């Protein structure tokens, strides 16, 4: 009787090889993500708290959580997915016109999302509303599309009747402007007001200024300013 030869297919071996390659790529991707972002160590020299640099993982955990470069004012963090530098300018780091006059603005205690103590500025009454900020673009990640947003809360009063002018001015003094109405914005919750987008490139190295204002002669109240965020958009 002729014996039948059975051929064992080699697909499982190929699948095993494919899985090994895939796993190796995943491990490599994880390692890439745990590397500190570009320029992070130079930025951290300005920090007012101790930073654990004993391993890339520990350093990156701190960067993802955020580090205050100025207590209650300026926070630096790294986007965990994109590994890009980001900054939060809290109200005390922003220039808020008339905020040193108690009859116009009131400073209240609040918490950052990570639990740190911060201050927010509550508008009591002004006709000239202007909030400005500046970011040193050298600390941003190159060739990255960034956006700037203000984080505010509408708590009633007349502010919801107004349209805000949002301006972003590059180091070469070129500026972009648009208006955004607050009329249909939700009350009593933190909302983001978009200022603009820009690509970090050699052409815009220097101080980039941005602002929110409504400077007509109408009385305004009922706005709380928390911070401005500079973060990657892509």
Long-range contacts of 64-70 (CB under 8 A, 24+ apart): 65/114, 66/112, 66/114, 68/116, 69/43
Distance CA 44, CA 208 (A): 21
Residue 55: exposure state from Cβ atoms within 10 A (0-12, 13-18, ≥19): exposed
Instruction: Report yes or no: 182 and 197 within 8 Å, Cβ to Cβ.
Output: no
pLDDT digits (tens, 9 = 90+) for 71-126: 999 999 999 999 999 999 999 999 999 999 999 999 999 999 888 899 999 999 99
CA nearest neighbour of 220 among 116, 96, 118, 114: 96
**Does the pLDDT at position 230 exceed 60?**
yes
Domains defined for the chain, CATH in brackets: 76-232 (2.60.120.260)
pLDDT at position 82 is 93
pTM of the model: 0.84
Instruction: Report yes or no: 151 and 229 within 8 Å, Cβ to Cβ.
Output: yes
């Amino acid at each position: 009787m002729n014996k039948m030869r059975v051929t064992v297919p080699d697909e499982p071996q190929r699948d095993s090889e494919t899985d090994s390659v895939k796993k190796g790529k995943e491990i490599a991707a994880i390692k890439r993500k745990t590397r500190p972002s570009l320029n992070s160590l130079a930025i951290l020299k300005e920090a007012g708290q101790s930073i654990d640099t004993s391993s890339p993982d520990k350093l990156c955990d701190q960067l993802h959580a955020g580090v205050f470069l100025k207590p209650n004012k300026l926070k630096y963090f790294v986007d965990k997915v994109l590994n890009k530098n980001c900054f939060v300018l809290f109200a005390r780091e922003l220039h808020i016109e008339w905020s040193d006059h108690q009859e116009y603005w009131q400073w209240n205690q609040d918490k950052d999302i990570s639990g740190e103590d911060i201050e927010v500025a509550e508008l009591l009454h002004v006709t000239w509303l202007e909030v400005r900020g500046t970011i040193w673009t050298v600390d941003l990640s190159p060739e990255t599309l960034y956006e700037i947003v203000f984080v505010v809360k509408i708590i009633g009063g007349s502010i919801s009747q107004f349209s805000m002018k949002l301006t972003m001015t590059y180091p070469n003094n070129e500026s972009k402007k648009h208006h955004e109405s607050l009329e249909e914005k939700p009350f009593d919750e933190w909302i983001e007001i978009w200022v603009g987008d820009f690509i970090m490139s050699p052409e815009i190295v220097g101080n980039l200024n941005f602002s929110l204002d409504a400077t007509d002669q109408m009385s305004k109240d009922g706005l709380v300013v928390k911070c401005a965020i500079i973060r990657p958009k892509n």
